[in-house]
Amino acid sequence: MKSTSFVKSWGAEYVAADTVRFRLWATGQDKVTLRLGGEEREMNPSGDGWFELELSQVAPGAEYNFVLADGTVVPDPASRAQKADVNGPSLVIDPTRYHWQNTEWRGRPWIETVVYEMHIGTFTPEGTFQAAIEKLPYLADLGVTMLEVLPVSQFAGNRGWGYDGVLLYAPHSAYGTPDDFKAFIDAAHGYGLSVVLDIVLNHFGPEGNYLPLLSPAFFHKERKTPWGAGIAYDVDAARRYIVEAPLYWLKEYHLDGLRFDAIDQIEDTSEKHALIEIAERIRAEIADRSIHLTTEDSRNVIFLHPRAQDGSVPLFTGEWNDDLHNAVHVFATGETHAYYQDFARQPEKRVARTLAEGFAYQGEVSPHSGKKRGVDSTGQPPVAFVDFIQNHDQVGNRAQGERLITLAGADRTRVLLAMLLFSPHIPLLFMGEEYGETNPFLFFTDFHGDLAKAVREGRAKEFEGHADYEGESVPDPNAKQTFEMSKLDWSKPGGKEGGAWLALSREMLALRQKYVVPLLADAGGNSGKIVETAEGFVAVSWTFPQGTLSIALNIGERVQPLPDQPGETIFAWPQAASELPQNAIVVRLAAGEAK
């Protein structure tokens, strides 16, 4: 892969060696001026609300803004980079100037995937792309194969999860430059690691979003999301902005895939849904390497994740399986508040069903919502589901940001981690999970003034009435200490306890690649079976053309007899035996015995 430039419909684009076309859609403005290098030039209306201006002798790194008729100065909504914050000048970027080193990289097969979810700002003490590069040998040695980076599109302030981005095409300046992000991806490829980016196409953050001022038609006033007005995906210019963004990140940054956030909030009445158009264009335009696309969707749907007869993926590759997490959480902690009430009754059966069939809810009524949720997922291949026992969302949306190890204890969490890593679903680890990190991951922002006050008070109110929480005890999201507390403690992997956790994680990941991954190449649907459940106990098996995989685990107080599992033991904790004591697991494999 050579250095490439994706030509966007919006923004500043080099159309010749030193000539840049500036383009903005601003139906709410009669006049727009480009401020470039201290000089101002009026832009030319070109129809349908578009303004354009083409200028020569524009050097990479030049600062620019758009100035509206009333004197308001705004950044480019399609900025490739910001000089500093989200409200300041945008920078002209020549994306072809980065010299890629690992030009032969073509990605890794999906069946090999073990995802490592990471937040750049808290992954290292420095919180930058460059600092993260230094940890790549560690991640490669760990045995993960894919790095999933939380959203990096420019958001307000320096600190945040990234889900309040407002400049969809610009890497967050506090993390580094566009070339720094490219260098991180490039270096990861050199270590055999894929990199995917979490991308938010369902809303914009509350600060630095000038699109309503520029073009009110970008949003549907009558449609709402949990975060504000719904985007008008059926309006051509807005649709281009949204649909081109995934292609831009994949092509210009050589990413290996994308995770699409909360797609149930992407409401599109167009003849072809924007998500379908995005997936089809990606498949058609990037055919020379492996691209993996995953979705987060509370509806438990499968229509976006079909498989062709040859097993290829025409649209999206897999879906985040919140049901597995939620069932495991109740199973391990006993918490049943909020959406966990859907898993309160016999959680071991919910865990078993998600492992064997995909979703726990396949059309049944959710006690939490009172509505039917989900569809039959038994026909989906196991690799259509991305499973996790913790992630940024489920940890960070607790008032105190506790990880599972803090809530359920190390012994129980260790067994559940083994279950995750030996399941034929695609496993996801949340950064630090591999060595038993106990630092919290809190909700943090970097807002100021009235917005900071609103977020602080809203966060406290969110947890009023929750068991064991008092509103005043919820950490202030805007306090820098809240952010600092959420950083990984890199002294722990070198310690006795963390080192032992890390060694076990490495062992399990190596065993997964050796024994489980070969089963997945032709693993189809209807392969899982619930063998047995009891309080604290789950036994499941999967039958594939290449063999039968079985898992039995016990986190209950009562010793459980080990069910009849064919084949040889490939992993056991704490040791193989004819019965399972509390906090124990046995994984067995019978190769070639599928019938």
User: Measured between alpha carbons, how far is 377 from 569 in angstroms, rounded to an integer?
Assistant: 29
Segment 404-417, tens digit of pLDDT: 999 999 999 999 99
CA distances from 483 to 162, 449, 488, 492, 534 (A): 13, 18, 11, 19, 41
State the pLDDT at residue 1.
57
Q: Which CATH superfamily is domain 525-591 in?
A: Golgi alpha-mannosidase II (2.60.40.1180)
State the pLDDT at residue 228.
84
Report the predicted TM-score, pTM, of the whole model to 2 decimal places. Answer: 0.97
Segment 127-142, tens digit of pLDDT: 999 999 999 999 999 9
Domain ranges across the chain: 11-97, 110-511, 525-591
User: Measured between alpha carbons, how far is 186 from 165 in angstroms, rounded to an integer?
Assistant: 24
Please say if 256 is a catalytic residue.
no
**CA within 13 Å, CB half, 219:** 21
State the pLDDT at residue 253.
98
State the pLDDT at residue 74.
98
State the pLDDT at residue 461.
81
Phi/psi for 14 (5° steps) reads -70, 125
Please say if 198 is a catalytic residue.
no
Q: Are the CB atoms for 158 and 73 separated by under 8 Å?
A: no
Active-site residue, selected from the candidate residues 261, 335, 348, 357:
261
State the pLDDT at residue 468.
47
State the pLDDT at residue 574.
95
278: its two tokens? 């995005």
User: At 586, which helix (H) or strand (E)?
Assistant: strand 584-591
Output the CA torsion 425→426→431→433 (10° steps): 30
What is the number of other CB atoms lying within 10 angstroms of the CB of residue 40? Answer: 11
The reply to whether domains 11-97 and 110-511 share a CATH topology is: no
User: Measured between alpha carbons, how far is 132 from 488 in angstroms, rounded to an integer?
Assistant: 12
State the pLDDT at residue 465.
54
User: At 590, which helix (H) or strand (E)?
Assistant: strand 584-591
CATH architecture of 11-97: Sandwich (2.60)
Q: Is 197 exposed, middle or buried (0-12, 13-18, 19+ CB in 10 A)?
A: buried
CA distances from 77 to 24, 165, 172, 442 (A): 8, 11, 14, 29
What is the number of other CB atoms lying within 10 angstroms of the CB of residue 48? Answer: 9
Which residue ranges in the chain fall short of pLDDT 50? 467-468, 593-595
State the pLDDT at residue 577.
87
In which residue are the tokens 């963390």 written?
498
User: Measured between alpha carbons, how far is 575 from 50 in angstroms, rounded to an integer?
Assistant: 68
Active-site residue, selected from the candidate residues 85, 198, 296, 348:
296
Tell me, which fold does domain 110-511 have in CATH? Answer: TIM Barrel (3.20.20)
DSSP assigned state of 176? -
**CA within 13 Å, CB half, 124:** 15
Q: Are the CB atoms for 302 and 375 separated by under 8 Å?
A: yes
